[in-house]
Amino acid sequence: MPKAKFIFKKYKNSFSVYIENLEQLSVEEIQKIENFVSTRKGVFDFETYSFIIQKKLEFEEFVSLLKYSNIDALCKEKFIQANIKAKVEFGKYKGMFYSDLPDNYLLWLKGNYRGKDRDNIISELNSRGLF
C-alpha cells in the first residue's frame, strides 16, 4: 500500500496540503486523513485533492502532528512566491494579500466572484497551479 504524498504550503494564518496520490490510497488511509483534518476544524476538498486548516503552523510541526496521528506520509514543503501584491478589498479576508489566501477560498472566489479583482484571483490560482 503506497504512503500518502503530501505537499505542504504555509500561508500567513493557515496552511494547505495537496495530496499527490489521493486516488492510490486505501479508504482507510483517506478516512484517517479526513479525521485528522476534521479534528483540527479544517476543510477537505476532494476536487482539488487538498485540505486546509486555519492555523499558523510550521512544516516540522505538521510532520510531527502526522506522526502523532499515526499517518504515514512522505512530506514536502512548497514555498509560495508572492507575485501579486494586491490586497483583498471585501469579505472576511479583507486587507490580506491574495498571495496569503487559502487555496479553497481562492477556488470558491473563482466560481462565485465576478468583481473587479477577478484578474488577481485568476493570476494567483495560475501561480499556484490550481487553474
Residue identified by cell 512544516 is: 59
- Domain residues of the chain, as ranges? 4-78, 82-131
Q: E strands of 35-127, at which residues?
A: 43-45, 50-53, 73-78
Which CATH architecture describes the domain 4-78?
2-Layer Sandwich (3.30)
Phi, psi dihedrals of residue 17, rounded to the nearest 5°: -135, 125
Dump pLDDT digits (tens) for 40-84. Answer: 999 998 888 999 888 888 899 999 999 999 999 999 998 765 554
92, 86 in Cβ contact below 8 A?
no
pTM of the entire structure? Answer: 0.65
Name the band, by pLDDT with cuts 50, 70 and 90, for residue 20: very high
Q: 104: closest CA among 18, 31, 40?
A: 18
Dump pLDDT digits (tens) for 98-130. Answer: 888 888 899 999 999 988 888 889 888 888 878
- State residue 124's pLDDT score: 86
